[in-house]
């Protein structure tokens, strides 16, 4: 069975470590915030200038001057700080963020990422995605393995790139793939429960490394 | 010190055309992230001034009926320099029809271009966008990451700041380090900046509030003429000198307004 959106978020949350500074993208990545393991201290950064995102506000706490990068009203946790966009991206580009989790339209076998534009169709812009994948220490992508019957794990991205060779870990509804920097290929680490290696191969255009032992995603 | 404080946004705009500050074809920096921290009343005054063929530098383009979206409706904007422009159907229509020119900048590149422009830095190199559409037509060069070529300072006879020298001895710690590609980006400077702050004093010292700060501080440094819209005016000396975000010397005019502060995604939890 392919993983659900929530199960994808649960699997992604396993990449969190105590004390990590983390930036979560919009969509499934945002759900990861709901699955921070108990007792683990993780600081969420929002690229519009907040370190220490708290829970959504109660109706009485809503403050138009306090939003996250998805433009949702949020709160700030105790110890949080506010800063300008240039300070925020100095934090991102300077390698001061431990982990970012974001969505994708395509990921190539060499770890290229495309997630900001469909020429002639979708012209919203890249926002902070190019900065995040260029500067954050570890880049985790969470996405569905296929879209409309087409694989999103491709040999080469046909869509305009967000970054080259930037994806460290790819979590899809079928499997978990980890980049081997030396081999420049993804290694199949885990399968979703009930999904076979054949299923992954059928739905993948990228050349991937399949080791003798492949785990199962704990959900 | 001339009089910087004006009662209303239209009053702050009244003589700008006569002074040559406001003119068709100019470049205007507009603060804000989404609708958070946008200079609402200054945007309305800009619209009402009728100035056109504008290049607007702003992270987003407002929504259809608020923020810079208002100037798209009136077709006063010819070009936008932004990082993300979802949430605006007018924008999408004008862009796809070719009426509106758009230059997408990665958000951090946009912020840094403004910071650099305000600091008199004509260009800088960043890893952001290397190997993508953003780098097309731009100078690229290989460097070691600052952290991998420690010191960052000039190494005599070996170039500077970890730059990869094609011949000759390499800088430092090269056994582990791999050079990577960087893209040259230029500083951005505008004719006019419209910013939103929380508090100001009569000198124009500004304090921003929470995430409404975003692009406003850099924009306040990166234009020939700067107007700030604020929630509160306080007397000179009332702001803690240690906590001022934008020193008053950057600011030409200040207007106190009552902002609508529209919320794009009102998300709440049950207490």
CA trace torsion B221, B222, B224, B227 (10° rounding): -60
Q: Tell me the helices (H) and strands (E) count for chain B, helix number first.
A: 6, 12
Q: In this predicted model, what pLDDT tens digit does every residue of A61-114 receive, in sequence order?
A: 999 999 999 999 999 999 999 999 999 999 999 999 999 999 999 999 999 999
Phi/psi for A84 (5° steps) reads: -75, 170
Comparing B174 with B201, which gets the higher pLDDT? B201
Phi/psi for B19 (5° steps) reads: -75, -10
Instruction: Report the predicted TM-score, pTM, of the whole model to 2 decimal places.
Output: 0.95
Q: What is the mean pLDDT of residues B44-58?
A: 98
Q: Which member of B107, B133, B198 has the closest CB to residue A85?
A: B107
Under an 8 A CB cutoff, do A84 and B214 touch?
Answer: yes
Q: How far is B17 from chain A (nearest CA, A)?
A: 31
Under an 8 A CB cutoff, do A126 and B102 touch?
Answer: no
When pLDDT is cut at 50, 70 and 90, the band that residue B161 belongs to is low
Question: What pLDDT is stored for residue B153 in this prediction?
Answer: 41
Q: Is A141 left (phi over 0), alpha (psi -120 to 50) or beta?
A: beta
b/e A29-54 (16+ beta carbons within 10 angstroms → b): bbbbbeeeeeeeebbbbbbbbbbbbb
Chain A neighbors of B217, CB-CB under 8 A: 84, 86
Under an 8 A CB cutoff, do B212 and A88 touch?
Answer: no
**Residue B174 above 60 pLDDT?**
no
Q: Which member of A47, A56, A67 has the closest CB to residue B268?
A: A56
Domain that holds residue A169: 5-216
Question: What pLDDT is stored for residue B53 in this prediction?
Answer: 98
Chain B neighbors of A129, CB-CB under 8 A: 106
Q: How far is B185 from chain A (nearest CA, A)?
A: 13
ipTM of the complex: 0.96
Bridge pairing between strands A138-143 and A175-180: unpaired
Q: How far apart are CA B194 and CA B215, in angstroms?
A: 11
Q: What is the mean pLDDT of residues B172-191?
A: 81
Question: What pLDDT is stored for residue B175 in this prediction?
Answer: 52
Under an 8 A CB cutoff, do A67 and B85 touch?
Answer: no
DSSP readout, A111-127?
Answer: --EE-S-BTTTB----T
Kindly identify which residue of chain A lies nearest to residue B34, measuring between CA atoms: A71
Residues contacting residue A149 through CB under 8 Å, at least 6 positions apart: none
Q: Which member of A57, A93, A95 has the closest CB to residue B108?
A: A93
**Residue A218 above 70 pLDDT?**
yes
Phi/psi for B7 (5° steps) reads: -75, -35
When pLDDT is cut at 50, 70 and 90, the band that residue B166 belongs to is low
Average pLDDT value for chain A: 96
Kindly identify which residue of chain B lies nearest to residue A164, measuring between CA atoms: B131
Q: Which member of B106, B134, B218 has the closest CB to residue A128?
A: B106
Q: Which member of A65, A89, A160 has the closest CB to residue B36?
A: A65
Comparing A28 with A123, which gets the higher pLDDT? A28
Q: In this predicted model, what pLDDT tens digit does every residue of B218-230 receive, in sequence order?
A: 999 999 999 999 9
Q: In this predicted model, what pLDDT tens digit does every residue of B225-264 receive, in sequence order?
A: 999 999 999 999 999 999 999 999 999 999 999 999 999 9
What are the DSSP E strand ranges found in chain A? 21-24, 43-46, 50-53, 76-82, 99-102, 106-108, 113-114, 138-143, 146-147, 150-151, 153-154, 169-172, 175-180, 185-191, 208-209, 215-216
**Residue B36 above 80 pLDDT?**
yes
Asked if B93 reaches chain A (Cβ–Cβ under 8 Å), the answer is no
Contact call for residues B68 and B30 (beta carbons, < 8 A): yes
What percentage of residues in chain A have a pLDDT greater than 90? 95
Question: What pLDDT is stored for residue B164 in this prediction?
Answer: 58
Question: What pLDDT is stored for residue B149 in this prediction?
Answer: 62
**Among B residues 102-141, those touching chain A with beta carbons less than 8 Å apart:** 102, 104, 106-112, 114-115, 126-134
**Residue B208 above 70 pLDDT?**
yes
Question: What pLDDT is stored for residue B150 in this prediction?
Answer: 55
Under an 8 A CB cutoff, do B115 and A82 touch?
Answer: no
Residues contacting residue A130 through CB under 8 Å, at least 6 positions apart: A116, A162, A163, B106, B108, B109, B128, B129, B132, B134
Contact call for residues B255 and B9 (beta carbons, < 8 A): yes
When pLDDT is cut at 50, 70 and 90, the band that residue A120 belongs to is confident
A188-202, B87-101, B239-253, range with the lowest pLDDT: B87-101
When pLDDT is cut at 50, 70 and 90, the band that residue B6 belongs to is very high
CA A114 to chain CA centroid, Å, is: 12
Q: How far is B19 from chain A (nearest CA, A)?
A: 31
**Among B residues 231-270, those touching chain A with beta carbons less than 8 Å apart:** 245, 261-270
Question: What pLDDT is stored for residue A21 in this prediction?
Answer: 98
**Among B residues 159-188, those touching chain A with beta carbons less than 8 Å apart:** none
Q: What angle do CA B223, B111, A108 make, to 5 degrees?
A: 150
The count of CB pairs under 8 A between chains A and B is 182
Asked if B37 reaches chain A (Cβ–Cβ under 8 Å), the answer is yes
Chain B neighbors of A59, CB-CB under 8 A: 268
Question: What pLDDT is stored for residue B89 in this prediction?
Answer: 87
Contact call for residues B161 and B151 (beta carbons, < 8 A): no
Contact call for residues A76 and A50 (beta carbons, < 8 A): yes
Helices A85-93 and B107-118: angle between axes, nearest 10 degrees = 120
Residues contacting residue A30 through CB under 8 Å, at least 6 positions apart: A24, A70
- Choose among B44, B45, B40, B38: nearest CA to B13: B45
Question: What pLDDT is stored for residue A155 in this prediction?
Answer: 98
Question: What pLDDT is stored for residue A95 in this prediction?
Answer: 92
Mutate to test the interface with A, among B83, B86, B112, B269 (most CBs of A within 10 A): B83
Q: Which member of B35, B84, B130 has the closest CB to residue A127?
A: B84
Under an 8 A CB cutoff, do B128 and A130 touch?
Answer: yes
When pLDDT is cut at 50, 70 and 90, the band that residue B176 belongs to is low
Q: What angle do CA B151, B152, B158 make, to 5 degrees?
A: 95
Question: What pLDDT is stored for residue B93 in this prediction?
Answer: 87
**Residue A45 above 70 pLDDT?**
yes
Number of domains in chain A: 1
Under an 8 A CB cutoff, do A58 and B271 touch?
Answer: yes
Q: What is the CATH number of the domain that holds A199?
A: 3.40.1080.10
Mutate to test the interface with A, among B39, B108, B129 (most CBs of A within 10 A): B108
Instruction: Please list the residues that pair with B226 across neighbouring strands.
Output: B193
Q: In this predicted model, what pLDDT tens digit does every residue of B123-156 receive, in sequence order?
A: 999 999 999 999 999 999 887 777 666 554 444 4
**Residue A39 above 60 pLDDT?**
yes
């Amino acid at each position: 069975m392919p993983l659900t959106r929530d199960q994808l978020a649960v699997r992604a949350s396993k990449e969190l470590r105590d004390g990590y500074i983390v930036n979560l993208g919009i969509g499934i990545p945002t759900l990861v915030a709901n699955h921070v393991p108990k007792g683990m201290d993780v600081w969420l950064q929002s690229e519009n200038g907040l370190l220490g995102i708290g829970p959504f506000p109660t109706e009485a706490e809503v403050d138009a001057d306090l939003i996250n990068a998805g433009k949702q009203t949020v709160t700030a946790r105790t110890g949080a700080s506010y800063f300008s966009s240039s300070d925020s991206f100095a934090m991102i580009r300077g390698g001061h963020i431990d982990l970012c989790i974001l969505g994708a339209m395509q990921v190539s076998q060499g770890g290229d990422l495309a997630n900001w534009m469909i020429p002639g169709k979708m012209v919203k812009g890249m926002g902070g995605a190019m900065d995040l994948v260029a500067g954050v220490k570890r880049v985790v992508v969470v996405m569905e393995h296929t879209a409309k019957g087409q694989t999103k794990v491709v040999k080469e991205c046909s869509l305009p790139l967000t970054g080259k060779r930037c994806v460290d870990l790819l979590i899809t509804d079928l499997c978990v793939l980890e980049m081997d920097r030396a081999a420049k290929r993804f290694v199949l680490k885990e399968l979703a429960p009930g999904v076979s290696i054949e299923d992954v191969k059928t739905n993948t255009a990228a050349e991937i490394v399949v080791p003798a032992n492949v785990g199962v995603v704990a959900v | 010190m001339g009089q910087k404080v004006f009662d209303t946004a239209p009053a702050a705009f009244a003589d700008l055309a006569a002074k040559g500050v406001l003119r068709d074809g100019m470049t205007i920096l507009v603060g804000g992230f989404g609708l958070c921290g946008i200079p609402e009343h200054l945007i309305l005054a800009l619209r009402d001034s009728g100035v056109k063929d504008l290049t607007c530098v702003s992270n987003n383009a407002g929504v259809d009926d608020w923020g810079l979206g208002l100037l798209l409706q009136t077709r006063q904007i010819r070009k936008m320099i932004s990082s993300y422009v979802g949430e605006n159907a007018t924008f999408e229509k004008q862009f796809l029809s070719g009426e509106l020119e758009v230059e997408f900048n990665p958000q951090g590149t946009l912020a840094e271009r403004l910071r650099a422009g305000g600091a008199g830095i004509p260009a800088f190199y960043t890893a952001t966008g290397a190997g993508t559409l953003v780098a097309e037509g731009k100078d690229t060069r290989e460097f070691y990451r600052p952290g991998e070529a420690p010191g960052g300072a000039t190494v005599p006879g070996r170039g500077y700041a970890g730059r990869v020298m094609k011949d000759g001895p390499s800088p430092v710690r090269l056994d582990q380090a791999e050079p990577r590609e960087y893209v040259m980006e230029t500083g951005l400077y505008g004719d006019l900046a419209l910013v939103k702050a929380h508090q100001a004093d009569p000198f124009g010292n500004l304090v921003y509030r929470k995430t409404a700060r975003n692009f406003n501080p850099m924009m306040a440094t990166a234009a020939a003429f700067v107007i700030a819209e604020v929630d509160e005016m306080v007397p000179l000396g009332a702001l803690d000198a240690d906590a001022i975000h934008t020193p008053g010397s950057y600011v030409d005019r200040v207007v106190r307004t009552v902002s609508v502060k529209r919320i794009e995604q009102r998300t709440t939890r049950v207490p």
